[in-house]
Chains A and B, each alone.
Chain A
Amino acid sequence: MPLVVREIIRQTPDIVSIRLQNVDGSPLPAWNPGAHIDLQLITRHERQYSLCGDPADTASYRIAVRREELSRGGSHYIHAFLREGSTVWVRPPRNLFELGEAPAYLLLAAGIGVTPILSMARHLAAVDADWRMIVVARERDGVAFADEIAALGDRATVHVSRERGRLDLDAVVGGIAPGTDVYACGPASFVDALWALSPMLPEGSGIHLERFEPRKREFGPNEAFSATAARSGVTVEVPATRSLLESLQGAGVPMNGSCLRGVCGSCAVPVLDGAVDHRDSLTVDDDSRIIYPCVSRARSGETLVLNA
């Protein structure tokens, strides 16, 4: 759906927030904290951005965009050329980072990772949950939405590494009370460090991570395999050099796809038969029957049947 850029606010030297609305200001599809939108620019560059506004404001979506040092086009375009009044194209919000029920919550955000975490904190404050939030930034002026974080009160703290040194994640994770669920978002180094500490979590605690970059893992060499899209009645031979998603799209099977790196989840398809080599950064259970065909493949010698 086409939306209009209503407001661009510089939050930090590297981050702008952008408020989007329908042309006539009519209500937008509802969302929950943790949700993101796929945003396409007039240049056809497409990226995912977490919603960081107030879900109760049904007329607006708010996102925040960091200027990447090595922009592949999207973030540079937004910072240099997007204007109030510009049109962008947005797919309705999806949530792959949903807040579950828990007796207590610890929210951790680094850098631009504050976007989904901020709306979670606001929600948990509104429902009077037991929560804490730590927002990490390298520099004081690198804290986006500093006013809004401050307005959340004592449960929300900002850790500026330049002033206080690197946040001691071991101590943070070690101090978690049993039953507390952790929600974290940030750059790969931050999220990977938390993932590495997850065995230290106490009984009954879970960890939920949102990544911008794929989890770094080593895989064996790609093997060719065959896959059938049951609903479309199409069988494709997937060579070692192509992804399952590309092969299906090439054969005319209608498939979504956006990040193509196993991070955004937009290409998810149910698996009807066959064992999956899950190579995405979303799947927690190796035996999951949902495949992200942009990166995941059949296990060696297996043939896949998909509900596509």
Chain B
Amino acid sequence: MRFEGPRGSVDDMLSTDFRALGLEDIRGTLGEPEGPSLQKITDHLDENCLRFLAHSPFATLATADRDGTCDCSPRGDYPGFVRAIDDRTVALPDRLGNKIADSMRNIVDNGHAALLCFVPGMSETLRINGTAFVTDDPTLLRSLEQDHTVPDLAIVLRIEQVYLHCGRALLRGGIWDADMQDLATQVPTSGQIWASTSGWDAAVGDVIDEAMSGAYRALY
């Protein structure tokens, strides 16, 4: 659906000349974390985490390059696609994408990686932090087959920290509320955005959207 109407503009009521705080100032404002929230961090997946992962069809993967420049990318697949190999190792398939491979380039540069896993309808998210590498192990790849497509590569994450993150952020954002999907009607389509950033005519955007809806039929 084509979005018609004015595009965005910034709120220019504020200057961006803000004061950057040190940790001491931040602690001064927030106080110290309470005991129980620290204890929730563990170093492995227990039965509850395994059940969470088995039902999670979406995660974000955060990586950084050698200099620490960060990148965060969405990963979605059949529930359970973040596959627990054992209680300290997960693997996820690298599916069809744009082949830019930002995450994998970062992982080769700097193994630190983090996953934030979501279960639709659930407010809490599962955070998994650790050290990652990319593999082409044929047995692992075969076990990640989906819709009769075996991925070419997989990312393996050795777990260092596991943490069930509280649900306030998702609750405040209301992201599982069906009504919230109306928000998308107020945002330009990817074709419109692409055409606009490339300086092309709006009609080109429609062509791109049409092509994308065709391309999206092949997900694997």
Contacts and interface: CB of A to CB of B under 8 A. Distances in A.
A70 interface: yes
Contacts of A80: 50, 54
Contact of A71 (B51, B78, B79, B143): B143
A191 to B, nearest CB: 21
Interface string B141-157: 01111111000000000
Contacts of B78: 43-45, 73
A72 interface: yes
Contacts of B139: 70
Interface in A13-52: 42-45
| Complex A-B, nearest 5 residue pairs according to Cβ-Cβ distance, in ascending order | A43-B79, A260-B148, A72-B145, A81-B54, A70-B143
Given A77-B54, A80-B50, A42 B145 contact: no
B80 to A, nearest CB: 6
A43 B145 contact: no
Q: Is the interface of A mostly helix, strand, loop or mixed?
A: loop
Contacts of A43: 54-55, 57, 78-80
A250 B213 CA distance: 11
A44 B55 CA distance: 10
A77 B50 CA distance: 11
B217 interface: yes
B217 A44 contact: no
A80 B218 CA distance: 30
A211 interface: no
Nearest to B148: A260
A70 to B, nearest CB: 5
A75 B79 CA distance: 14
A261 interface: yes
B80 A70 contact: no
Contacts of A71: 143
Interface in A64-97: 70-73, 76-77, 80-81
Interface of A: 42-45, 70-73, 76-77, 80-81, 249-250, 260-261
Given A73-B78, A81-B54, A261-B148, 10 more contacts: A42-B55, A42-B79, A43-B78, A43-B80, A44-B78, A70-B143, A76-B80, A80-B54, A250-B218, A260-B148
A262 to B, nearest CB: 11
Nearest to A260: B148
A28 B57 CA distance: 31
Contacts of B144: 72
A70 B150 CA distance: 13
A45 B55 CA distance: 11
B24 to A, nearest CB: 46
Contact of B142 (A70, A77, A81, A250): A70
B51 A81 contact: yes
A296 to B, nearest CB: 15
Given A80-B54, A81-B54, A250-B217, A72 B146 contact: yes
Contacts of A81: 51, 54-55
A274 B115 CA distance: 51
A268 B51 CA distance: 37
B148 A73 contact: no
Contacts of A72: 142-146
B106 to A, nearest CB: 27
A21 B146 CA distance: 28
Contacts of B217: 249-250
A260 B148 CA distance: 7
A305 B177 CA distance: 46
Contacts of A42: 55, 79
Contacts of B146: 72-73
Contacts of B142: 70, 72
A255 to B, nearest CB: 13
A285 B133 CA distance: 50
Interface string B49-77: 01100110100000000000000000000
B47 to A, nearest CB: 9
Contacts of A70: 139, 142-143
Contacts of B51: 81
Contacts of A77: 54, 80
Contacts of A250: 214, 217-218
Nearest to B79: A43
Contact of A73 (B50, B80, B214): B80
